[in-house]
Amino acid sequence: MLREAREGFESLTMNGDGEKPVVGVVGEIYTRANKFANENAVRKIETLGGEAWLPPIGEWLLYVNYTAKVRARYLKRYMNFLEVYLTERQQKKLEHHLEQIFQGSLKNLCEPGIAETIAYANGYLDPSFEGEAILSIGKSKDFIHKGASGLVNIMPFTCMPGTVVNALFKRFREEHDNIPFINLVYDGQEQTNTRTRLEAFMYQVRQFQKYRRS
């Protein structure tokens, strides 16, 4: 099925020059991945001329493995460590097998390892601060390295990790050429101003893309 999907995507006729600005989407795992929960934010970004990139949901599974191994080593539960290690090894083997099908097709195919993502967040959050916040900061830096021209943080209303990310992004932006950033908060009620905010954000993204190329 994945091979058929690749063939189907590659048979599509492209319009434009293929130079849409990349927008990295981070935030709370479920809300950013569920189009109902985020009012189809990804489609809105793409309708306004952006190319949206999201971390895979598997990122959270691998992060859970990572924290479980750290905890098992700290508590000297070596059998538990071995169990998690073997589970993770099989998961990564399957992941690699599936990724191979899209080699040469997707620009954002290869994801950094969890340890690398956490290292990217160094200076903003300590690894002991567990949860989605450290993944969002680390992945934002990975997106910038891959050429993103804008970043979106999607979060449910009052989400603590999302609030932490939003607070840290003032300094994060200052240290990364003031890359455009927008925080989108959802509470189950339709937001009336999201489209307007995204339009202004995408204008900034296009200007930032031009600035980077100049």
Tell me what pLDDT residue 109 has. Answer: 86
User: Helix axis angle, 78-99 relative to 58-75, nearest 10°?
Assistant: 160
Tell me what pLDDT residue 198 has. Answer: 95
Tell me what pLDDT residue 55 has. Answer: 93
Tell me what pLDDT residue 121 has. Answer: 95
Tell me the two tokens of residue 86.
């073997």
Q: Which residues of 120-133 are buried (b: 16+ CB within 10 A; e: fewer)?
A: bbeebbeeeebebb
Domain ranges for the chain, please list them: 16-55+114-214, 57-110
Q: Which fold has domain 16-55+114-214?
A: Rossmann fold (3.40.50)
User: How far apart are the C-alpha atoms of 136 and 138, rounded to whole Å?
Assistant: 6
Tell me what pLDDT residue 213 has. Answer: 82
pLDDT in tens, 91-109: 999 999 999 999 988 888 8
Tell me what pLDDT residue 144 has. Answer: 96
Q: Are 140 and 24 in contact (CB under 8 A)?
A: yes
Tell me the two tokens of residue 83.
């169990």
Tell me what pLDDT residue 174 has. Answer: 94
Tell me the two tokens of residue 2.
């994945």
Tell me what pLDDT residue 34 has. Answer: 93
Tell me what pLDDT residue 108 has. Answer: 86
Average pLDDT per block of 10 residues along the chain, 214 residues long = 93 80 95 93 95 93 95 95 96 92 88 94 93 95 95 93 94 95 88 88 95 82
The backbone torsions φ and ψ at residue 61, rounded to the nearest 5 degrees and listed phi first, read -60, -45
End-to-end CA, the chain: 42
Which strands make up the sheet holding 150-156, listed edge to edge? 51-53, 22-27, 150-156, 181-186
pLDDT in tens, 2-25: 999 999 999 988 777 668 999 999
Tell me the two tokens of residue 212.
């980077």
pTM beyond 0.85, yes or no: yes
User: How far apart are the C-alpha atoms of 202 and 200, rounded to whole Å?
Assistant: 6
DSSP string, 18-70: S-PPEEEEEE-HHHHH-TTTTTTHHHHHHHTT-EEE---THHHHHHHHHHHHH
Q: Are 58 and 84 in contact (CB under 8 A)?
A: no
Tell me what pLDDT residue 83 has. Answer: 96
